[in-house]
Amino acid sequence: MITEVKLKDIFYRYQEMEHPIFDGLSLIVQSGEFVTLVGPSGCGKTTLLEIIAGLIADFSGDIYLDGAKKMPLGQVSLMPQEDLLLPWRTVLENGSLPLELKGQRQSDANQQVRNLLREFGLDGFENYYPHQLSGGMRQRVAFLRSILTGHRVLLLDEPFSALDALTRLKMQEWLITMWQKFQPTIIFITHDVEEAIFLGQSIYIFSMVPNRKLKHYPVSFAYPRNRSLLGNPDFVQLRQQILADMVWGGAHE
């Protein structure tokens, strides 16, 4: 299973657009790393995830997976900006979908999902349909489904942006415990600087298009992290620094 992703000199322009979104962009995400990418609306965050997921293929530049140059379609798991649960399937049936697609017997697939329900805060909800769940629960089902694809690289596109502040904080803490337990490589997109610092070991800042070089900030706070970190003076200072960089256009070095 793929665990490391490297982008080299990516150039991409949507046909309809005059300017490229990426022009010579490079990025390395190491095995088991939790990386957050932060930037304003329209800067190309979703586009980059679609390139890394292999959904966009007409770019120039190279993608290396575990050191080998190859196309990533089907090798990594993308959780899109909307949760995309199937409305006619229950929690159990949505969760077991990737296992069924791999040809597992339905009873085995269901059992594997049941084994994870408690950890994903879905105990007792296995027969609920998506419309009967809260936003946070729907995100947890989507995340459970991503984990069960078996892929070791998870691409998460603003999964918590529609949640209220408290639910969001709980989901962030929960995601950290899940990351520590399953140890996937995570590339997490957000437009929220605080969320990016709270979650990531490494933050990359998008500028306005075209993105040439993403400014990198290492984040050294120990895990597991919890909400008390938000008041830590080093945390507050880093947030100010990143915001200033984004506002004053310091993203290009």
Q: Which residues lie near Mg ion (CB under 5 A)?
A: 45-46
125 vs 121: CA distance, rounded Å: 9
- For residues 242 and 38, the answer to whether their CB atoms sit within 8 Å is yes
Choose, by CB under 6 A, the member of 14, 112, 232, 241 that binds ligand ATP. 14
218 vs 28: CA distance, rounded Å: 13
Choose, by CB under 6 A, the member of 172, 191, 204, 211 that binds ligand ATP. 191
Query: Residue 21 interacts with ligand ATP (CB under 6 A)?
Result: yes
Omega prior to 98 cis, within 30 of 0: no
- Residue closer to ligand ATP (CB basis): 21 or 63: 21
- For residues 202 and 217, the answer to whether their CB atoms sit within 8 Å is yes
- Residue closer to ligand ATP (CB basis): 17 or 57: 17
Question: Least distance from C-beta 164 to ligand ATP, angstroms?
Answer: 19
- Residue closer to ligand ATP (CB basis): 13 or 170: 13
Query: Residue 45 interacts with ligand ATP (CB under 6 A)?
Result: yes
Question: Least distance from C-beta 81 to ligand ATP, angstroms?
Answer: 6
79 vs 160: CA distance, rounded Å: 11
Binding region for ligand ATP (CB under 6 A) out of 39-47, 59-67, 71-79, 192-200: 39-47
Q: In a 3-state reduction of DSSP, which class is residue 133?
A: coil
Q: Is 52 exposed, middle or buried (0-12, 13-18, 19+ CB in 10 A)?
A: buried
Question: Least distance from C-beta 120 to ligand ATP, angstroms?
Answer: 25
Residue listed under structure tokens 């040439």 = 212
Query: Residue 51 interacts with ligand ATP (CB under 6 A)?
Result: no
Query: Residue 42 interacts with ligand ATP (CB under 6 A)?
Result: yes
Cα 237 to the chain's mean position, in Å? 25
- Residue closer to ligand ATP (CB basis): 44 or 200: 44
Q: What is the DSSP letter of 124?
A: T
Q: In what order do the strands lie in the sheet with 60-65?
A: 22-29, 5-12, 60-65, 68-69
- Residue closer to ligand ATP (CB basis): 94 or 207: 207
- Residue closer to ligand ATP (CB basis): 114 or 215: 215
Residues that bind ligand ATP (CB under 6 A): 14, 16-17, 21, 39, 41-47, 191
